[in-house]
Amino acid sequence: MRLDVVTIFPEYLDPLRHALLGKAIEQDLLQVGVHDLRQWATDRHKSVDDSPFGGGPGMVMKPTVWGPALDDVSAGTGPAATPARLESSLPHLNRARHDELEGIEARPYAADGAPDDKDGRPLLIVPTPAGEPFTQAHAREFSREEHIVFACGRYEGIDQRVIDDAQRRYQVREVSIGDYVLIGGEVAVLVIAEAVVRLVPGVLGNQRSHEEDSFSDGLLEGPSYTKPRVWRELPVPEVLASGDHAKVDRWRREESLRRTRARRPELLEQAELSDADRAFLEGLDAEGEAR
């Protein structure tokens, strides 16, 4: 997978080199290019924004700068031919990780019946609070892309004609990472890139660890515990040390249901629930305790 980011704050994208993504870069599963939008500015002051048509506060990013930038990044031409290529921050290629299981085959996610738009156009993601809400389903869908370009807007956004025109060369998605307002799209790119890249086959060693993630089955994950068995007089739930795997699985399922009901009850409407799941939920009182 290749990621390109166009931004007026290239240094903001430095965290892409760290941890999981840095490792993916080292393993050649990921290439990352970061491009300073001002390279495409044409005036003496390298301006990238202007006052909004129709009046109002703030500034709008100029189509005459963004248009050529996105043309060059999709074609790998002009200033985009020589991006500040991010190197991995750490040499951790040879360090085996504890959560990596041997013999787990790298495989892409099934297409979930979604039309797989493999028309060769790269995906252009435009982070904006006015976008469609980014979810784990998007992360799974985007993890199958060969090339993703992120266009980071600042100020009051990017002239809409840039997004309309980009459809000729890109599949375009305007996405929001939540119902709050950030100053610009850079942090949203970090969020989206991490959610997507960890699903690229081979990046996360342990396939099971994302098949069991919160949201993969529409429920929140329940609590986890490790040694010692008693810590500050708090014992680990007894069932977890029982060695009875069926009982452990049932307990985990119920904790997941309990937590989802308490924190995200709307998720239960979409989740696939068994008769046993429904019976368990009906047996909970208002505090989430068994009646």
Residue 130 binds ligand 6GU (CB under 6 A): no
State the burial class of residue 33 (Cβ atoms within 10 Å of its Cβ: 0-12, 13-18, 19+).
buried
Check if 212 is active-site.
no
Does the active-site annotation cover 129?
yes
Output helix, strand, coil percentages for the chain, rounded to the nearest 5: 35, 15, 50
Segment interacting with ligand 6GU (CB under 6 A) among 58-66, 181-189, 193-201, 239-247: 181-189
Catalytic residue among 2, 38, 169, 198: 198
Per CB under 6 A, the list member of 7, 74, 88, 176 interacting with ligand 6GU is 176
Of the candidate residues 3, 80, 188, 196, the single one contacting ligand 6GU (CB under 6 A): 188
By CB under 6 A, is residue 184 in contact with ligand 6GU?
yes
Rule CB under 6 A: choose which of 28, 54, 105, 181 binds ligand 6GU.
181
**Farthest CA pair distance, the chain:** 72
Active site (annotated) includes residue 213: yes
C-alpha distances out from residue 198 to 57, 66, 175, 193, 238, Å = 39, 29, 19, 8, 33
Q: Tally Cβ neighbours within 10 Å of residue 59.
A: 15
Q: What is the DSSP string of 137-184?
A: HHHHHHTT-SEEEEE---TT-B-HHHHHHHTTTSEEEEEESSSS--SS
Q: Nearest CA to 21 among 30, 11, 12?
A: 30
Annotation marks residue 156 as catalytic: yes
Least distance in Å: CB of 200 to ligand 6GU? Answer: 21
**x/- site string to ligand 6GU, residues 78 to 117, per CB under 6 A?**
----------------------------------------
Residue nearest to ligand 6GU (CB): 127
Residue 152: closest CA among 31, 13, 42, 1: 13
Residue (156 or 255) nearer to ligand 6GU, CB? 156
Chosen residue from 3, 177, 204, 219 binding ligand 6GU by CB under 6 A = 177
Closest to ligand 6GU by CB, 5 vs 177, is: 177
| Contact in structure between 19 and 197 (CB atoms under 8 Å) | no
Query: Total residues at the site for ligand 6GU (CB under 6 A)?
Result: 14
Q: Which residues are known to be catalytic?
A: 129, 156, 198, 213
